[in-house]
Structures are given as structure tokens and as C-alpha cells.
Amino acid sequence: MSATGKASLVPAVNNAECPWDLFDSESYQQRNYATLHELDQIIIPKLARFFEEQNLGGDLEAVDVGPGTNLYPAMSMLPFAKSITLLEYSSTNIAWLEDEIGSYRESWNAFWRALADSSDHYGAIAEPGVLLKEVADVQKGSIFDLAEGRWDLGTMFFVAESITGMRDECAKATTRFVRSLKPGAPFAATFMENSRGYVVGGHTFPAVAVTEVDVLTLLRDVACDITLHPIRSPHLFRHGYDGMMLVTGVRSDTRSEPARESGWATISGRTGRRDRQHAAR
């Protein structure tokens, strides 16, 4: 059972026990990003408007931690970045990213149009695939080894809760991501809500079943100006989770240890704002 009382789809193993180098990248991309799904249509405008509101300029060093086979978080930072590091651990995903950035299939245009429809910053870029190839740098690395205070801007989509079945590792991954940014740097992160694990190419991968309160608790000591957007729809594209969460904020100056599991169930949701007015139900 997960912490929510729902049965997990896969055993709760730690990150090191997962077959990351056997991850079927193309299968995962085709299932999740070959077309623009409804939930991404909800996330992308909120993401674009958040970055637009930060008055970022155009010469930042940005990072997307754990991109897997999803290019749109990196694409969302294109108007503001002179370089974007795509930090990935899986060797199959690294090879996939290098090939994909080199060729940039047409299906990504739908994601770019959603960004451009949400902010003029994106509409001013005529060839996002060309620009991505110029500024993106795919690097192998672990989220657990991130140095502190390195980047000006960051994204982390569906990573911390989806690389382990252990709550302490999920907490560590979340805070390591935020602390890899410079103080005051804005970030956007997404989490699967109450994920019970997933299967890719015949291999099972664990997850930590996080809730809104869990995510806000994990971020409270390392970030400020936090807004959590519940992203929900009756049309989920696979079994094993209840919805998604988009969280935006800026890295605070505070150095802190990851939140302990015992605190997850006791911290009030008032640690951050909840944008329920615009939540998809």
C-alpha cells in the first residue's frame, strides 16, 4: 500500500535498484508526448505566464533536471536562456535526447504553439527547434549529486516522485533540485499526484504517492512565493495516479535538510498558495 492507502502497482524500491539504462525512451515518448494531451494543455499556459511574469531577460543559464523524453520544459525556457543543461541519468534517455534535439520531430510544434499562444516571448522565436539545438547541452548526471547555487532558472517535470519508491529519496531529490538554483532563481516543477508506479517497455518503475500537502511541505524550507496548481481531469491517459500538480516559486536563501517523512502528514497546506480557481476538475 502507498501512504494514501491505495495499492502500489510496483514494489517500493529505491532509486539505485531501478533499471534506468533499460528505459524504453521511444515507447515512453510515444505514449506521453507524441501528441499534446489535455493535462499538458492546462499546464503549459500556466508555465508560460509564470516565466513571463518574472522579467527574466534573455541570457540566463538554465537547467531541466530529468527531462527523460519531454522537451517542452526546456522549450519553455528558450526565450530567457543562453544555455540550457538537460541533466539526465538514464543512458537510453541521453541517447534519445541527443538524437531528438538534433532532429526535432514535428509533433513538438503543438507544444510550442501552446507556449506561443500563452506569451509573446515565445511567439517571437521563429524556429524553436533550431534555437534549442544551439543552446541545449545534454549531460549525464544524478539529481542527488547536484551542486548548490549553480543555475539561474530551472524546471523539473515528474522526476522526484517518479524515480524512487522511498519518501526520503523523493524529499532529497526535490530539495536538491531547488538548491541547485541560485537564491532568487525561479523554477517550475510538476509532480504526479498519488502515483502508484508505472510500466515502460515491460519494466516496472516505482513512485512515491505525494499529495499537495506533501509537495508544499517539501518546498517550504528551500523556496518562497510558492504557488501550487492542481491539474486534474477525468481523462487521465494511464492508470495509477490521480492527477498532476504544477508548482512554481523561487529559491530562497535558506540552507536546509530535506523534509522528514513524519512532517508530511502534519504540515498545513497554508505553506503555499493553491490556485484552485483555475484548477481543472
In a domain, 187, yes or no: yes
In a domain, 4, yes or no: no
CATH code of residue 164: 3.40.50.150
Q: What mean pLDDT is predicted for residues 142-161?
A: 98
In a domain, 2, yes or no: no
Report the pLDDT value the prediction gives residue 106, as an integer from 0 to 100.
95
Number of domain units in the chain: 1
Q: Reply yes or no on whether the pLDDT at 274 is more than 60.
A: no
Q: How far is CA 198 from CA 23, 66, 207, in A?
A: 12, 16, 8
C-alpha grid cell, residue 166 = 522511498
Q: What is the largest CA-CA distance in the chain?
A: 49
Identify the DSSP state of 182: P
Tens of pLDDT, residues 81-97: 999 999 999 999 999 99
> Domain residues for 209?
15-275
In a domain, 246, yes or no: yes
In a domain, 3, yes or no: no
Under the banding of pLDDT at 50, 70 and 90, the label for residue 242 is: confident
Q: Bridge-partner residues for 210, per DSSP?
A: 193
Report the range of poorest mean pLDDT among 136-140, 189-193, 223-227, 264-268.
264-268
In a domain, 5, yes or no: no
In a domain, 262, yes or no: yes
In a domain, 225, yes or no: yes
